[in-house]
A and B are shown apart, each in its own frame.
Chain A
Amino acid sequence: TQLLEQSPQFLSIQEGENLTVYCNSSSVFSSLQWYRQEPGEGPVLLVTVVTGGEVKKLKRLTFQFGDARKDSSLHITAAQPGDTGLYLCAGARWKTSYDKVIFGPGTSLSVIP
């Protein structure tokens, strides 16, 4: 069974602080996505990383894909209350004609003003 683990499960920080959340697996993925989900809404795609070691930046968010393509991290600089939400990673593995995507359980982030 392929599993994606995310840590920490919950994170509560003050506005302006930096943070890093992690996504880990024993499986190799062809790509990995990060989503943010707010209560009562659907996950919103933030980024896709494909190449081992790849780093992508989206404003104050920095995403890194591990060299072995088994793990990823999301770093937020100077967190703001608008960053509050559930951060989900999703790993994709190619299966003949489509990618099988599995989701991690998420990291729930709360940024306190």
Chain B
Amino acid sequence: EPEVTQTPSHQVTQMGQEVILRCVPISNHLYFYWYRQILGQKVEFLVSFYNNEISEKSEIFDDQFSVERPDGSNFTLKIRSTKLEDSAMYFCASSEWSYEQYFGPGTRLTVT
């Protein structure tokens, strides 16, 4: 069964460093998303991406964040200068129809 994959599974970085989290959505899906979940807290929407552009972003998704679909298969989230409070699980999701989303296993980002 097709699934969303994410790499790396765990990323440790120092404060101020740039990180790129990678996702391979399900191949025939058209809508792509990033969410984050701070340990013990709710799933928070970051950004949605459709037709090669951001369709919506939350207030969390400030100028430090960017997304890209560099080729036909990858979808990336870049954090330019990480802060301690960026430590969280980051989930990529994709959907064929825009409401039924399939999530990847997540990348645990630890900022030290």
Binary A-proximity of B78-112 (CB < 8 A = 1, otherwise 0): 00000000000101010001111111111010000
CB-based nearest B residue for A43:
B103
Residue contact B98 to A99, C-beta cutoff 8 Å: yes
Contacts of B76 in A (CB 8 A): none
Residues of B within 8 Å of A, CB-based: how many? 27
Using A31-B99, A43-B103, A99-B98 as known contacts, say yes or no to A106 and B42 having CB atoms under 8 A apart: yes
| CB-based A-B contact count at 8 angstroms | 64
Q: Is B68 an interface residue (CB 8 A)?
A: no
Q: CB-nearest residue of chain B relative to A96?
A: B55
Does more than half of chain A's interface fall in helix, strand or loop, or is it mixed? Answer: strand
CA A48 – CA B101 in complex, angstroms? 10
Partner of A42, one of B45, B55, B97, B103: B103
- The 15 listed contacts between A and B (C-beta, < 8 Å) are A35-B103, A40-B108, A42-B91, A42-B93, A45-B102, A45-B103, A48-B99, A48-B100, A88-B43, A95-B56, A98-B98, A101-B99, A101-B101, A102-B45, A106-B43
Residues of A within 8 A of B (CB): 30-31, 33, 35, 37, 40-45, 48, 88, 90, 92, 95, 97-106
